[in-house]
């Protein structure tokens, strides 16, 4: 399980995925289906995200039952920036087709 902030052309989103890699072609295809063709992603510790999002995290996690799935946990950039510091983010993953 990975939790990541994905910076897109319209702002950041917080996602949860069962994909092992944020550049996996199937993962990228799911983002493309949401209109995201180019992005910068930063992994976050799952426990940190769970702590900050509480019950909402559990609800989304319960819905993440399929193998290689993707769920958006938060799409409010203001909320995401308030919840996480840059120091908590992993190394950036750049994707461009």
Contact 12, 6 (CB under 8 A): yes
> What's CA 20's distance to the chain center, in Å?
12
Contact 72, 31 (CB under 8 A): no
Q: Tell if the pTM clears 0.95, that is, is over it.
A: no
For 18-64, the pLDDT digits (tens) are: 898 999 999 999 999 989 999 999 999 999 999 999 988 888 777 65
How many domains are contained in the chain? 1
Range of the domain at 11: 2-95
Above pLDDT 90, what percent of the chain?
Answer: 70
Grade residue 65 by pLDDT with cuts at 50, 70 and 90.
low
């Amino acid at each position: 399980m990975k939790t990541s902030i994905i910076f897109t052309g319209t702002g950041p989103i917080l996602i949860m995925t069962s994909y092992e890699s944020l550049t996996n072609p199937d993962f990228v295809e799911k983002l493309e289906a949401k209109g995201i063709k180019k992005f910068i992603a930063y992994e976050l510790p799952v426990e940190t995200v769970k702590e900050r999002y509480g019950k909402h995290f559990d609800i989304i996690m319960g819905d993440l039952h399929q193998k290689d799935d993707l769920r958006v946990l938060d799409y409010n950039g203001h909320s995401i920036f308030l919840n996480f510091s840059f120091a908590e983010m992993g190394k950036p993953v750049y994707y461009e087709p």
